[in-house]
Structure 1
Amino acid sequence: MNALNTLERRALQAISNEQGRILIVAADQRNGMRAAMAGPEEDPKDIDVTQLAAAKADLVEYLANNAPAILLDPEVALPAIVDDGVLSRDTALVVGLDASGFETQDGLQYTKFVDGVTPRTVRDLGGDVAKMLWYTRPDRQDEDSRVAQDIRDLVEACEAEGILLIVELLTYELEGETDEHYQAAFGGLVVEGARLAVACGAKLLKLQYPGSAELCAAVTEAAAGVPWAVLSAGVDHATFIQQVRTAIAHGAAGAMAGRSLWKDSLSTSASTRRDLLTNRARPRLRELNDAVNS
């Protein structure tokens, strides 16, 4: 197990509920949130930064302030949500370091940092925890690969700054790979991705639901004592609740939910958005809290 130091242990407490289960509302999306806001006749690209920032602020005020923690981006949401007093003093702040999109090298995908954002920036923005996304294909990447070195480097940099790092992993279909081959390999890729990240020093993982109770147990074994939380990956709320219950029953430490909570509660109309976040998304958050405590 990659042991937490004292600062990291306190940070883990900050993003956990009273029962010690990790529970984070994810709102660091940019293009994905624009798509959720756009109506059937609207182009998401027409939603400007000001509109997106207003939606993120409402999402924090009317939903995430009822959760232990919120994940936000340093491009649109921060520092305004902190500086304007929108974020509750009782809700921890997780700062996403990854930029939208990815670059490709030798057929593999690599995420990029938001320009100028470092572990020190997380402190400057008032953050308690950092999060970085890596795309992984552990059937083609080992401990000597570029992605493995990138994970090691950031784990070390965050530790030096006194910041707990959430290592988020997403597996993906390779160019030329059939859907059938990828789906058959998917669960094993999630398991082996967790194993690789832990070998590189990861202390907290954010992972896709691997597909079954047996595979959740395999992830827990691969994580070797490192806590992992399941992400919603855009599935509907009812599906995610069942995934969370299964993951928790087989060793997961919590959940990090974004679109499953709020994707049908955002609107370019502020009054409609606030009503839906209060009366649709917030009850879902309560149900998710019950699921992680199950």
Structure 2
Amino acid sequence: METNQTIRLAIEESIQFLEFAPHFTMAHGECTRRKWDGVWWHMAALYEMGEVKRIPQSAIERAKHLLKTQVWPTFIISANDHPTSESDKMKMDCCHCELAVYYMILMAYGCDLDKELPWIREWLLKHQLPDGGLNCDPEAYTHSKKSSIVSTLPPLEAILWHTDREFTEQEAVFLDEGARYLIEHRLVCSKQNGDVIDMEWLKPCFPRFFEYDILRGMSFLAEWSRRRNKLLPVWLFREGLERLNTSMIAEGLQVGRQVFDPQGPWGGQTFSLLEATAGIGVVSPYLTRQLDRVFERMGPEYTSRLPLDN
């Protein structure tokens, strides 16, 4: 069967699943978040594909209801952050990247979460660490003060991609500091020794959900440069493209990694749409579009997706 037809059928299957999925309540909270076939993942995959408007309105409303009534709106760092009432103790505790992806899905759909759930944007903005990033490990805020690149990107994207007005001073600082953090880490490297932190980050991943790869970082910096009128670190992009060389062919960018790798730490049940868009070695139109936007931002001398000459 033709790949495009396979994806179309898989999209319809996910839409049907979301239309009738009952798993938006705490009683089924495990089903909501379950890797990799819970409702959260279906919605996130459609969002990353640019198909967020295909998500049924009923699913959107149930997702908002979950965030309004069944999520503890505080990142638990200290003892004072814990819920005290029995009803609050039953609520889901979220991390930065999970909350940011939920936020991006619903904002892209057309919801005004800054009006309906203003605590989400406030949450993302208040948890930036001194190095410019964020960390979903609470101990980072009381001990190391060091961020996680994986935890950092979704919150940065949420503010950058889903602010349709001038940035406030707080938002501008948040984005600029986040960009500084990525640049200082050369997208994938340790500041201490310059080594690549995780070689898997050099392999383009789709869908990503919360996961990181080097193109995700480049895409953020390209849009940050445009929206904030900041100088693009072309030297860093050149280095990033060289790292992506083995995944670039004339037809586009190939998927190099699956976030749900059965051999990795997070193997589990999948769903048709996830598998249809995540074939290793397959050219991804979604990743290719993102790469093309990076090339466009770099300027006319960088117009080809062909592998770079060594």
Identify whether the pair has TM-score above 0.5, normalized to the shorter chain. no
The structure whose residues are more often strand, as a share, is: 1
Q: Which has the higher contact order (CA 8 A, sep 6+)?
A: 1
Q: TM-score, normalised by structure 2?
A: 0.27
The structure whose residues are more often helix, as a share, is: 2
Q: TM-score, normalised by structure 1?
A: 0.28
